[in-house]
Amino acid sequence: MKNNIKEIRERKGLTRKELAESSGVHYKKITDYENNYINIENVTIGNLYKIAKALECTIDDLIK
């Protein structure tokens, strides 16, 4: 699986801080996800849902 969080976030013109605020997922977690410090397969479904909702995309879009 490919982690597309950073790509989609940048396409939407959001900073990590803005994504953290709009999703409710801690800034450090988003940084860890984007830098693959936490493998995308290990991200909780709840956090994927929150990020997808904030980015107006699907969970599938985030992990293709």
Per-residue model confidence as pLDDT tens for the chain (64 residues): 789 999 999 999 999 999 999 999 999 999 999 999 999 899 999 999 999 999 999 999 999 8
Domains of the chain: 5-58 (1.10.260.40)
Retrieve residue 32's tokens: 């860890």
* Residue that is written with structure tokens 């994504």 in the block: 19
Given a contact cutoff of 8 angstroms between Cβ atoms, the answer to whether 7 and 36 are in contact is no
Say if residues 59 and 52 touch (Cβ distance below 8 Å). yes
Q: How far apart are CA 17 and CA 30, in angstroms?
A: 9
